[in-house]
């Protein structure tokens, strides 16, 4: 193999690694939005640490913990924006991902819209060929709560915060 072919193979491996890391973060966000503890946990190694500030979880408890925390949310939508992934050799990586989260929550009997802006600062490890979070620090830069108002009625049969959501059928093999 020539040096250029070896360099090309290394570059492809790095792109595949970064894509796998990105997809783990997408699984986490989708899991939170769909209230799916298994999907959330699939982004973490079982012994991982997830530091949400007021709550701290392990990789084994993060899925159920976040779903229980978010039980009263009627709507949840995570939007990932800027993301920088730095590979540290073949088995570890650092990742900073900016997010915006919107949730309809109940506060004192009224519905409110919670907007949060922040960053996930993650250490990823590849174990048994799979990239997952080994340590996460959630840095919330801004939160804002506003009255949700009276939303127009939504047609039935659209999205849901569970495995009945149409996206599960579309994404299955």
Six-digit token string for 8: 């090309």
Reply yes or no on whether the pLDDT at 169 is more than 80.
no
13 has pLDDT over 70: yes
Residue environment code for 95-111, b if the CB has 16+ CB neighbours within 10 A, otherwise e: bebbbebebbbeeeeee
Question: Within the chain, where are the H helices?
Answer: 3-34, 37-41, 62-69, 166-171
Residue 157 binned pLDDT confidence (cut-offs 50, 70, 90): low
Given a contact cutoff of 8 angstroms between Cβ atoms, the answer to whether 61 and 46 are in contact is no
State pLDDT tens for residues 53-73. 889 999 999 999 999 988 888
User: How confident is the model at residue 99, as a pLDDT?
Assistant: 96
What pLDDT sits at residue 32? Answer: 95
Q: What percent of the chain is predicted at pLDDT more than 70?
A: 92
Q: pTM of the full predicted structure?
A: 0.85
What would the mean pLDDT of 24-35 be, rounded to a whole number? 96
- pLDDT at position 164, please? 81
Sorted by where each starts, the structural domains of the chain and their CATH numbers stand as 3-152 (3.10.450.50)
Task: pLDDT band for 106, please (50, 70, 90 cuts).
Answer: confident
> What is the pLDDT, as a whole number, of residue 147?
81
126 pLDDT tier (thresholds 50, 70, 90): very high
Could you give phi then psi for residue 57, rounded to 5 degrees?
-125, 170
């Amino acid at each position: 193999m020539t040096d250029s072919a070896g360099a090309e193979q290394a570059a492809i491996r790095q792109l595949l690694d970064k894509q796998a890391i990105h997809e783990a973060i997408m699984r986490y966000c989708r899991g939170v939005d769909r209230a799916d503890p298994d999907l959330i946990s699939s982004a973490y190694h079982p012994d991982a640490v997830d530091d949400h500030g007021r709550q701290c979880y392990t990789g084994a408890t993060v899925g159920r913990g976040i779903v229980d925390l978010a039980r009263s949310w009627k709507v949840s939508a995570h939007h990932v924006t800027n993301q920088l992934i730095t590979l540290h050799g073949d088995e570890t990586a650092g990742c900073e991902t900016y997010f915006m989260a919107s949730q309809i929550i109940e506060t004192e009997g009224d519905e409110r819209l919670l907007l949060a802006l922040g960053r996930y600062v993650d250490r990823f490890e590849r174990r048994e060929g799979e990239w997952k979070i080994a340590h996460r620090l959630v840095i919330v830069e801004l939160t804002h709560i506003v009255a949700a108002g009276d939303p127009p009625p939504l047609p039935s049969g659209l999205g849901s915060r569970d495995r009945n959501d149409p996206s599960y059928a579309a994404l299955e093999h």
